[in-house]
Structure 1
């Protein structure tokens, strides 16, 4: 059985009221999103960084200035510009400037090791690199064997003053030169083919292996921004008077109390990540949201700014929420303005959902699911107030998206209630992996289904639960052990702040389930022992799933996007037993 957006039943009110199952997606380039937002939101604040604001009008002018500089220096359609900077006030102008010039945006994690950075720049064929002044020495060592011709440099000085000048060596270009250029909209992207020309060349997170370039045409990016924005705001896509894409909010304030142009949030989801650039950059610009930028996660500062700016929503990955709940004063603060909590990047433990709901009683907690290969979002729990949200699930497929659960070894789709590989089909699915036809053919089958590598199960009403990654699954004496099942139990133990389960190589059993646990900084955390944790878990599972050891650790390693880096923990286990 293939599950699509099944009609709501008496037990599951899953679909946004007044919205169709299918949307009409305008054939426009990504730059159209910015043009419409500038026209609609004008002098409202778009972004705030270190208490310095940027209006939508100024964002538009700066983005066109970047686009015009690039065009004047021969960068345009088909050229790749790699952006190797953290979240900052100048990032949106760089992002939209690249796309308005007709070039392709290739986001790069600023924390990549030099060899990985060089490999990504080479694989992408990047002609221009926009980088951060503090990492310039490191970057230079990576550039020699890459196709990069121009290095544009920015830094914290530009965050505070877009006209600030940097001290640079000969040959490097100051981003201030780009930002101060001609702000005229020359419509450089007028010749873009939304279906064929790449907007993003985004690289997979690489948490389980070699990162691959994901090809996302303008059509896929615009489509997924609309899927996400319409789902979260109860809106429909419309074209403004100039033919640019924006939203018309059709659902009422009872279900969507935060109206377009009223949302305020603190964002630390990296813009080099799919959830960041689609949901927390494009989605925020389209919806007229005021976004307070945090370059890195400081839980105390996050809470201070969230209170000061009276945010209407809180978003991030599960480790963010775990940390926020431990900030002194968080439980006692006034969170009455918070109407929504949005989680992604990794499954949200049920016990964590319950703790958040207790502190944020006015908030709808909406967990979604997606991957870089589907631009960003594929499913979402209903965020409208009267909707049915099912804890432990990532909701139902969004507009025009199908989910199929297929056997791990191949075969016919499975019925509701059975575990298998999550497969996705929809207009937001990538074109393919850059220059990797075999990998593309392996990931996208002949019927258009993208095989995610995630293990999931659909219920009778079409709600999807993610069980685990196929690559995280352990094999104990021939039995499949899914770490997420054990992690759910671990998160429910008093005194546990974080947890991850990996396999320890064993000649006889294959792999032994081992838990890495972070204690809370309180009496309950101090009282935890390996024996007490194992007993609390093993009493609740069948014998082959039982933990064989517990290792206490100061922090669970996570990527900048909030995904647990189990490969690092697994490597520790291999080393401990004398493996490679």
Structure 2
């Protein structure tokens, strides 16, 4: 190990022997009446989060939800998301997360695959959920009132009870007995395309969530979650850790990323565990976010390079008091030097750190160390070092038994407490990617002489647009379902700070003609907004190799 790699980063941690069932009551014991969540004009304290999540756990039990059943969260960012999330875990249920903009067919498939018994939604997207819930395992839908549209939807299948969320909590006990869930039980069924592009549910176990949260608390706050005699978790400083990060129990974070994504969800448990108030920003607006950072004295902010670029370029960045942030965490795509320098000017007291993670690794795998006394020797392009108790290897793509040396590019493999339990209902794919405790990420990477990781190419053909993963295969399947399309291939076109935008190359059926505007609208109706194709190119034939494989390199060259 060279002196360029901080010695403390190789420390091994003790992990709390408990489950996420204990998290909400532990937060209340640590932080009491301190604000946990600020959602517009509403504030929820840590104590209230504990009490309301206990009430929701009781409501789930009354609704017939038993240990190891599944609760579906069909919600945007709101205070009730946290209540429902921790309440479901306290009831011993697993949580499955879904983008509230998910079209009906994908939502129905997720219900069928997970066997979810209860769903929580909002009026603005309740119609989609209720439209597909009939004849499924869902027996109750709880509807959270919002400012845009209050009340309970009228149309619902006969098999589904539709109940206002607040009515479920009203009058219930504000405590809930501990349940017999183990660290090996599933906490989340988190959907991802993984390296194949096929939407699959990742089995994220309680020990994975607690393991990753523990790693984050230590890496970025220098504290360790410890279980006391009462079964509750508290934070203790770790001797010998040279971390210059956040201080538990002080400050806030502004939440922009959607909580239904692993990145935001795991970060929330980590930051709540450190006592930071979660200030919900709603739909991203650079000026509003800068105002929230100033007003709430945010000390930790996380986001993507596209978001940072928008913030650093906003005129308010020069006039707001942005001295409070200590950590600016960037992920989803490499940050460029121009944005990095602009962030330094906008947030003068913050350290900018990049990291790497994936849903199959719970959330975080590597991150830049926040070392006390470190100078500004920023390794541009690197996503940092493996966090505590995490091993990485760069292996030959053709021969995974061969581990490559520094500077050599190959497939990134990961081992650690955050490596999840595989895919729900996909034993063959699980066996291919999870081997002897190691996870094959599908990402092409290399390490330098000091062990810092650099991602060279995201999982095969996957695109990243505004921080979101876009899988060409999914779009290609939609395209070829159109009666005028014979074959299709989707590749990414550089779109500057927002990443890559999907462009479709399509071949019409024999004798057919493709209306590009109509085809674009056809795809848009069937996918999430950030996945829609941004351009269509009509070809007589797709370029292929002798083996019949579409040569996407040639298609990219055309762009």
Per the normalisation by structure 1, the TM-score is 0.78
Cα distance in 2, alignment partners of residues 365 and 318 from structure 1? 11
- The answer on 1:11 being equivalent to 2:21 is no
Asked if 1:244 is matched to 2:222, the reply is no
Superposition deviation, residue 370 in structure 1: 0.7
1:472 aligns with: 461
User: 1:318, 1:347 within 8 Å by CA — same for their partners in 2?
Assistant: yes
1:304 matches 2:291? yes
Of the candidates 325, 339, 348, which is equivalent to residue 338 of structure 1?
325
Secondary structure of the 1:126 match is coil
Pair 1:335–1:574, CA change in 2 (3 A): same
Match of 1:317 among 304, 322, 327: 304
| 1:414-493 equivalent positions in 2, closer than 5 A | 414-445=404-435, 447-472=436-461
- Residue matched to 1:235: 223
Query: Is 1:390–2:383 an aligned residue pair?
Result: no
Structure 2 residue aligned with 1:109: 99
Asked if 1:185 is matched to 2:172, the reply is no
Give the Cα separation in 2 of the matches to 1:24 and 1:518: 43
Indicate yes or no: 2:219 matched with 1:215. Answer: no
Which segment is superposed worse, 172-181 or 451-460?
A: 172-181
Distance change >3 Å, CA 355–CA 28, structure 1 → 2: same
Deviation of 1:43 (Å)? 0.3
The answer as to whether partners of 1:66 and 1:181 remain within 8 angstroms in 2 is: no
- Over the aligned positions, Cα root-mean-square deviation in angstroms equals 3.5
Distance in 2 (CA, whole Å) between partners of 1:186 and 1:330 is: 45
In 2, the alpha carbon distance for the partners of 1:421 and 1:377 equals 18
Residues 381 and 394 in structure 1, CA contact (< 8 A), matched pair in contact too: yes
Q: Which has the higher contact order (CA 8 A, sep 6+)?
A: 1
Whole-angstrom CA distance in 2 between matches of 1:512 and 1:71: 46
Aligned partner of 2:253 in structure 1 is 265
How far apart are the structure 1 equivalents of 2:309 and 2:408? 30
- Give the count of matched residue pairs: 494
Q: Give the aligned partner of residue 486 of structure 2.
A: none
2:287 and 2:316 in contact (8 A); partners too:
no
Does residue 226 (structure 1) correspond to residue 219 (structure 2)? The answer is no
SS at match of 2:13: coil
Q: 1:332 to 1:26 in 2, by over 3 A?
A: same
Deviation per CA, 1:317-354, whole angstroms, max 9, x where unpaired? 22211221232221343221111101123332343223
Structure 1 unmatched runs, 5+: 1-6, 474-482, 488-499, 506-510, 521-561
State the alpha-carbon separation in 1 of the partners of residues 241 and 186 from structure 2: 37
After the TM superposition, which of the residue ranges 452-461 and 242-251 deviates more from structure 2?
242-251
Contact 1:369/1:380 (<8 A) preserved: yes
Q: Judge conservation of contact 1:368–1:377 (CA < 8 Å) in 2.
A: yes
When normalised by structure 2's length, the TM-score is 0.81
CA distance in 1, matches of 2:286, 2:148: 24
Structure 2 residue aligned with 1:369: 356
| Aligned-partner SS, 1:378 | strand
Q: Distance in 2 between matches of 1:577 and 1:360?
A: 52
Q: Which moved more, 1:136-145 or 1:371-380?
A: 136-145
Name 1:476's counterpart in structure 2.
none
Counterparts in 2 of 1:235 and 1:75: CA distance versus 1, 3 Å: same
Is the 2:188–2:205 Cα contact (8 Å) retained in structure 1?
yes
Aligned partner of 1:348 among 332, 335, 338 = 335
- Match for residue 277 of structure 1 among 250, 256, 265: 265
Cα distance, 1:188 vs. partner? 4.0
Alignment correspondent of 1:36 = 26
Q: 1:513 to 1:266 in 2, by over 3 A?
A: closer
Deviation of 1:249 after TM superposition, in Å, equals 2.6
Asked whether 1:288 is paired with 2:275, we answer yes
Residues 526-565 of structure 1 aligned to structure 2 (within 5 Å): none
